[in-house]
Structure 1
């Protein structure tokens, strides 16, 4: 398995912790992720399902790095997560700079590494 695959396995495994928090320890999810906002049990479960989906993408992609479509979807999951937490910090004020920094490290590293690995690019020029 390539190093990127091991990285995705690590990130997926760390995401499992958030899944657990979302389903079974919403207070910790509140303290660790959305400390400046009310977090209900429904919100925790929604966060848990969303995170479980992104965890699954990490695992699938780790074992199928040559699958461009799967890499793109996994890449986009990191972009969406980063944008979500960036807006939660900058616009809504529901999370802290500490949490944003952690997300930025994992999402940013993954985004850059996946761009370098799979050659995902945005063509700004018309054909």
Structure 2
């Protein structure tokens, strides 16, 4: 892992094996607000393009269900208090709050759910007036 302690500060992270190498799975660690990518409430902008949406910010939602009913490889959403190594297959494939970085990939932060999180870059730019 070639990232600095400063970059990883405040994040929950874990190296996970993936196809012969290790990916870095990282998130903000806020499992209480993790609905899962298929269940997080969202705003849909188009009747014809199901991918044109934005996830609602945390401030507009209560806590997510402890068990949103989705599983990956037999893994459920981890409990928020399960410790720093709680990340599992659910986090990798289902959690909207986590991202994975391949070896050598430039560092980037997980999504910021203090505001709308747009699925389409063009919509984000349009809404932000860029």
| TM-score, normalised relative to structure 2 | 0.25
Q: Which structure has the highest helix share of the two? A: 1
